A and B are shown apart, each in its own frame.
Chain A
Amino acid sequence: MDFANYDPDGVNRGREIISAKIVVAGGFGVGKTTLVGAISEIQPLTTEALMTAAGVGIDDPSKVPGKETTTVAMDFGRITMAEDLILYLFGTPGQTRFWFMWDEIIRGAVGAAVLVDTRRITDAFAPLDYFENRKLPYVVALNRFDDAPHYEMEEIREALAISPDVPMVLCDARRRDSVKQVLVTVVEHAMLRLQAEHGYPASVG
């Protein structure tokens, strides 16, 4: 008898649970937590990682005497899609000096949405640079604030030098339907990329 599968309570009965992750990135205050909260089945939660101000690559502040401990927080949400499938949405920490945390957050992700506030377009440069140099499929979502000036999508693509093969979508991070469309775009783009990498003609079912 294999005791690893011993389950008299039947709680683990049935299939293994698989989880997937989509990353929501963007500058500080761009609406990442709002977006996650609009679609998550739980109130967005916060996980904290401790590190020192000079803590790149060091996760034990006690080894660096005299440095202050900083807490880097990331917010996330959850969508239970089936008994055996959970989708998590992770927001990145706002400040770009915490990029080393981004590496951990994006590892294994399905894809990412880079959220852009059209009132502060230049805040998007750093997050976009980050994804340009990674293999993770990503889309750009323009979070339209009520008081934002109106730009054409292509104007923004040009201003931010977004590659033509990166999908762009308008959204309202407060609205569930709109957020759903952003996430659908991320997953469709990830499928097309994966198919292209394997030499299949592009089609999403």
Chain B
Amino acid sequence: MEPRRDPRGALVRPYAVTRGRTEPLQNIALEAVLSSTPTQSAEARFAGHDKYRISSVCEGRAQSLAEIAAYTRMPLGVTRVLVADMVAEGLLTLHTAAPATGFAARMNLLGRVLSGLREL
């Protein structure tokens, strides 16, 4: 939890892999889940090293944006830019984070989470 200095120093600027872009195409939530089919993964092979790594992490098991960043060891902001690009390019499927609208939908989600917890 302590902040620490980047051991890699300034050798690679963090946003070099996004070609300097810091604004994602869409602001994907930390917990939003992404998945990749084998077909999407096969295509991602040609999308560059970083995107292929992201694709591999999501193949066969849906992963949140936060998990993708952790497993690829890329900073969150950089991961978000790349993942948003991949969603736009059809290389990843974006699932919904908590449907925050409507009383009934929110109660239903809370109810499912509650029974999920009780069953643990």
- The docked-state distance in angstroms from the alpha carbon of A19 to that of B1 is 24
**List of A residues within 8 angstroms of B22 by Cβ:** 59-60
Residues A28 and B30 in contact, CB atoms below 8 Å apart: no
Q: Confirm or deny: A202 has a beta carbon within 8 angstroms of a beta carbon on chain B.
A: no
- The docked-state distance in angstroms from the alpha carbon of A62 to that of B93 is 31
Given A19-B95, A21-B98, A95-B3; A86-B113 close (CB under 8 Å):
no
Q: Confirm or deny: B49 has a beta carbon within 8 angstroms of a beta carbon on chain A.
A: no
Interface set, chain A 104-129, CB cutoff 8 A to B: 104-105, 107-108, 110
Residues B32 and A19 in contact, CB atoms below 8 Å apart: yes
- The docked-state distance in angstroms from the alpha carbon of A85 to that of B98 is 10
- The docked-state distance in angstroms from the alpha carbon of A48 to that of B113 is 27
- Interface 1/0s, chain A 1-41, versus B by CB < 8 A? 00110011101100011111100000011001100000100
Residues A47 and B15 in contact, CB atoms below 8 Å apart: no
Residues A194 and B110 in contact, CB atoms below 8 Å apart: yes
Residues B69 and A18 in contact, CB atoms below 8 Å apart: no
Residues B15 and A20 in contact, CB atoms below 8 Å apart: no
Residues B114 and A12 in contact, CB atoms below 8 Å apart: no
**List of A residues within 8 angstroms of B31 by Cβ:** 19-21, 86, 88, 90, 108
**List of B residues within 8 angstroms of A105 by Cβ:** 30
Tell me if A's interface is mostly helix, strand, loop or mixed: mixed
Residues B93 and A48 in contact, CB atoms below 8 Å apart: no
Residues A19 and B33 in contact, CB atoms below 8 Å apart: yes
A84's nearest neighbour on chain B, judged by CB, is B95
- Interface 1/0s, chain A 149-182, versus B by CB < 8 A? 0000000000000000000000000001000100
Q: Known pairs A180-B120, A205-B114. 15 more at Cβ < 8 A?
A: A8-B37, A18-B95, A21-B31, A45-B70, A59-B22, A60-B22, A71-B4, A73-B2, A79-B116, A81-B116, A86-B62, A88-B30, A88-B31, A90-B66, A110-B110
* Contacts from B to A (Cβ < 8 Å): 1-6, 10, 13-15, 22, 29-33, 35-39, 60, 62, 64, 66-67, 69-71, 75-77, 90, 93, 95-100, 103, 106-107, 109-114, 116-120
* Contacts from A to B (Cβ < 8 Å): 3-4, 7-9, 11-12, 16-21, 28-29, 32-33, 39, 45-50, 59-62, 68-76, 78-79, 81-82, 85-88, 90-91, 93-95, 98, 104-105, 107-108, 110, 176, 180, 183-184, 187-188, 190-191, 194-195, 198, 204-205
Chosen A-B contacts, 22 in total, with CB atoms closer than 8 Å, are A8-B37, A9-B38, A16-B95, A18-B33, A18-B95, A18-B97, A18-B99, A19-B64, A28-B1, A49-B75, A71-B3, A73-B2, A88-B30, A90-B30, A107-B29, A110-B98, A110-B110, A183-B117, A184-B117, A188-B114, A204-B114, A205-B114
